[in-house]
Amino acid sequence: MSDMLGKYELRRVLGKGAMGTVYEGYDPVIDRTVAIKTVRLVGADSEDAQALEELERFRREAKAAGRLQHPNIVGVFDYGETDDIAYIVMEYVDGTTLKQVLDNGERYGVDEVVRLMDALLAGLQFSHDRGVVHRDIKPANVMLTAAGAIKIADFGIARIESSSFTQAGTILGTPAYMSPEQFMGQRVDARTDIYSTGVMLYQILTGDKPFDGGLTAIMHKVLNSEPLPPSALSVAVTPALDHVVLTAMAKQPEKRYASASAFAAALRNALHAEPSTGADQDRSGRGKSGPDDDDGTLVVQSARVPTSPLPATAPGPGAWRAATPRKNLPLAGIAVGGLLVVAALGGGGYFLFGSGHGDQPAMTSAAQAGPAEGAPAPAMPPAPQQAQAPGAQASAAPDPLRIAAAVGTLPCSFLTTGRDGEQVSLSGYIGAGAPRVALDTAMAKLPGSAAQIRNTVRTVDGPYCPIFDALRPYHGVTSGGSGLAMVLSGGDRPLHDGDPISIAVKLPAFPAHLWTVYFSNDGSAVRIYPTSSDGAHAFAANATKTLGDGTQGGARMQVGAPFGTDLAVSLASSTPFPAGRIPAEGNVASMTAAMTELLSKAVGSGGQVAMELHPVLTRPKGQ
């Protein structure tokens, strides 16, 4: 094909439906393969109600997914309309759907199921935190990349918080995966996605859906019947996994997990609590679910549904925290997440790095819930203490070694303990949701008063757990720091679209070589030192290198979309980093692999290493 749609080349047809076509496309401006989804454009006065509904859903998909930039969500890059069609330009995913895998009879081991679900739930938590409820989670809307990553697709019937387009009284979804409140036409919130994900987990573990049949039969079972425990159908499923699945599928929303991250944490705990044994087999005596045609999305307006004692669901998640969709790139530079990198040569500009958005699948994920992005952790409430006899002394505050033993190996953490006189401190970073809860729980169990521990650990919202976990083994939790530090010019405050990003890196207390990478909240990454114009060299002990300030050499940096919490990471080594091992751009997976390889080689050769992380909060103008 050689047709053009706006600036995009249409290369081949990927699929066709009653309302539109999906193409493989190409963006020649930034040399990227994309997927382009189209629907027929109809006027507001059209009498074709189905076409109008499809078009509205299509626009809603662009609006919902366009604000969600996450490694486990199919990215939306652009939206446009011609005289005849509307189109969405999306991330091109080289892979298949989970439905195709299940229809082919393929089965996963329990460990792999937990890994896939962890990634899926990370994407859902990110979506829910931004006020978007998917409402149609099912295997057909879960993409599996060639590298094994999970990506959620098709936000066509998503409900956006504060949107009035679809409210109570409308039934939308795919019957086999719909929650009781969806069948009843009640208002839905994030717990509807929890239910649908529980149904999908049931199917992945057993090969069967918990409820099957026609629409009426499924609705009756969902509202009135309990499914068989998954362990009744597969010996690979433990009672602990039964509990997780059936909790997610509870008929009353308040009895389900309160968030996707809580669901993920429970699933991980179930895996570690009771490892499965024996070969996976079907106990039901029934054949496994094969390909079927009942996975189409149902849309019923103003439906009359049976009454039920189920209460209406609570309002949806809190205020939307924007993740602005990508816009056209300015000729002066390349936007990478919250970072715009521009070459500083006589005031002119040229492309310094290629785009890192969506070209490579992100293979890892993080829990995405909890406090506001990058916000300092609130002070720990004192742990409950038993009454003491008069004159008794309170337990002494734990020393740094005891704190390190309690929290130093928590997943998705990068922590440091220390002591300043009588004051014990804990600092660093922890992933949102389950990791934060695990930290708070561990701290509450320590002896003494929490007031005796200066806890400044920051919760970081973003796909950074793999980075924390990869760097932690090379980081001395009780080392007190090596002197490597990063400071944002102007202080630790949110930066807005167009603001300069200047990072002063103070080198450690030994002569060192430096490598600094900027990770964006969409999972992409670029190396900001060394660059082609600001080459690598050894720094003296305690030297300072300023990055992002064009007047001091190297690349000038400024904030650009998408916005959120980005992360700058600096590594220092007394031995040089091999130039060929330091990619100029990549994603969380590729850069994390490169960092661990370099650190391993440096430590293996007897060198000293140091590392420092610094979140960078970026916002649109006016927010």
Q: Which domains does the chain have, with CATH numbers?
A: 1-92 (3.30.200.20), 95-320 (1.10.510.10), 369-382+397-461 (no CATH), 481-623 (2.60.40.2550)
Q: Which of 78, 118, 129, 136 is catalytic?
A: 136
Average pLDDT, the chain: 74
- Contacting residues for 566 by C-beta, under 8 A, at least 6 apart: 337, 338, 339, 462, 518, 519, 520, 521, 615, 616, 617, 618
- What's the pLDDT tens digit per position in 206-261? 999 999 887 778 888 898 889 999 999 988 899 999 999 999 999 999 999 999 99
Q: Which residues pair with 293 in a beta bridge?
A: none
pLDDT of residue 303: 35
Please state, in angstroms and rounded to a whole number, the distance separating the CA atoms of residues 371 and 615.
14
Q: Is the peptide bond before 562 cis (omega within 30 degrees of 0)?
A: yes
Location of structure tokens 């960092």: 595
Query: Is 136 a known active-site residue?
Result: yes
DSSP 410: -
Q: At what angle do helices 190-206 and 110-129 cross, to 10 degrees?
A: 170
Please state, in angstroms and rounded to a whole number, the distance separating the CA atoms of residues 123 and 119.
6
| Contact (CB, 8 A) for 416 and 427 | yes
| Contact (CB, 8 A) for 481 and 613 | no
Confidence of residue 320 (pLDDT cuts 50, 70, 90): very low
Residues that constitute the known binding site for ATP: 37
Residues that constitute the known binding site: 37
- What's the pLDDT tens digit per position in 338-361? 555 543 333 222 222 222 323 222
**Tokens describing residue 99:** 């439905």
Q: Which residues pair with 488 in a beta bridge?
A: 503
**Is residue 265's pLDDT more than 90?**
yes
Amino acid symbol at 3: D
- Contacting residues for 205 by C-beta, under 8 A, at least 6 apart: 110, 113, 230, 234, 236, 237, 241, 245
DSSP 430: E
Please state, in angstroms and rounded to a whole number, the distance separating the CA atoms of residues 131 and 137.
16
Please state, in angstroms and rounded to a whole number, the distance separating the CA atoms of residues 254 and 268.
21
Higher-confidence position of 450 and 609 = 609
Q: DSSP secondary structure string, 211-236?
A: S-SSHHHHHHHHHH-PPPPGGGTBTT
pTM: 0.46
Please state, in angstroms and rounded to a whole number, the distance separating the CA atoms of residues 338 and 222.
44
Confidence of residue 117 (pLDDT cuts 50, 70, 90): very high
